[in-house]
Structure 1
Amino acid sequence: MSHDYEEFIMKIKRKSGIDLSLYKEAQMKRRLTSLYEKKGYTSFKDYYQAMSTEQALFQEFLDRMTINVSEFYRNGKRWEVLEQKILPKLLDKNPRIKIWSAACSTGEEPYTLAMILSNFLPLQSISILATDIDENVIARAKLGIYPERSLQEVPENMKRKYFTADGDFYKVSDDIKKAVTFKKHNLLAEPFDTQFDLIVCRNVLIYFTEEAKNLLYKKFSDALKTDGIFFVGSTEQIFNPSHYNFDTEDTFFYRKK
């Protein structure tokens, strides 16, 4: 590894928590070299120097570095069902509900949950656990900086209330950030916490084998309280919910029996 790149890796880790050495070196180096050359820099050193004074350059680097397909309020209709139908029932039973956003990627999902919950509860009494296996996406989530395209579905009032525009990017407010705790966690290999009222795991299970899915549905079911809700993505309908002790509460929402 060249000294220039090595130094760059160290500085980026200090600045953002993101560890570039976890990515395939040749590919990442190629991607970043073409990025800085396009901007007119000749070395990683110059590029980093410019990044440390120019916020927009740093944000563009973050955006290019991870392929981010996640969005706030992705499949908006389902979030409406959560807000209008699912949450009121859960909060009726217990205002301090325990929530887990599993495989949370770069944080859009748990932050969306916090925003929706803020319609019911003061933010300081909301606490959401968000986990992912990838340390780099967790570091990105904690930074809370997103390109404009991630916010397409965010209701206007939420955008005004909880985001600050910075060039083409948006920063999530500290109040929303404080409502979410991020941790590294491997769904397949590690045990789950228990007694959750709501578990959200969307657009992830499609990547697992049938065997792994089967195991995960069992683990998620065991992690929920009776009457707790499991919320899955729009391509992830469970065809035999009773097999995992679930009843269908609504499309893509399952209630633990």
Structure 2
Amino acid sequence: MEERIRLRLDVAYDGTGFSGWAAQPERRTVAGVLTATLDLVLGAGVATGLTVAGRTDAGVHASGQVCHLDLPAEVWQAHEGGLLRRLARLLPPDVRIRAMTEVPADFDARFSATFRRYEYRVTDAPWGAEPLRRHEVLAWPRPLDLAALNAAAAGLVGEHDFAAYCKRKENATTLREVTRLDWRRDPDGLLVATVQADAFCQAMVRSLVGAMLVAGDGRRPVDWPASLLSRRERSSEVTVAPAHGLTLVAVGYPDDPTEYARRADLTRRLRVPSTS
């Protein structure tokens, strides 16, 4: 049997020109571009099993995305020294593989992850977003209060059913644990929301941001975003914030590689709400 090795890829991309991560017929996607470039360098179908930590939507960026794939050991040994630079020459400028690292076979970019961390950038400057940052910053038309944003965020931290903030999928739970949610104002005036959880359901981060922004500009009370957690269906009152302000900045994994398989098994178990 052919010996195969698993590689972890750390990936960054500007999501502006992509229809999301997942490969789609007739659409330009991050997975499609990576696969085509790997096939060009290594041969069609040599790299297999491309699996990502988080499937970002169309227009969403990443500076800390993680995926894995499998290669024949002899191919990796032949290309290891120069593969990263060769791929850099052939990849389009809006996607970069920043590192390729051999990992244990039971590492799973998706299921071994302990957290995903996103940042959402907003400006409330009266002139809007700076031209060089317009693809990653949302221009908000009203002044935003940092204290109000953080008060709204505080009520959303913890384990909750986020059905009001998710696009529900059949046989999928909307129970999630948000371990961090806060806002800061950087020296350049940008407001940045940091959102971290064990996992997110579709459109959840942008929905949370959309709810907090209307609390931050005073159109809703600061406890309104948390009040929606009692609902069991998606709320039509929540406006999903635009994709271009969102960036996946980090994915966490166990420090001990022997824990990859255990973490993957734990993640695969369906979250069941407590009956207490």
Would you say same fold, with TM above 0.5?
no
Higher strand share: 2
User: Normalising TM by the smaller chain, what interval?
Assistant: under 0.3
TM-score (norm 2): 0.24
Q: TM-score, normalised by structure 1?
A: 0.25
> Higher RCO, 1 or 2 (CA under 8 Å, sep at least 6)?
2
Higher relative helix content? 1
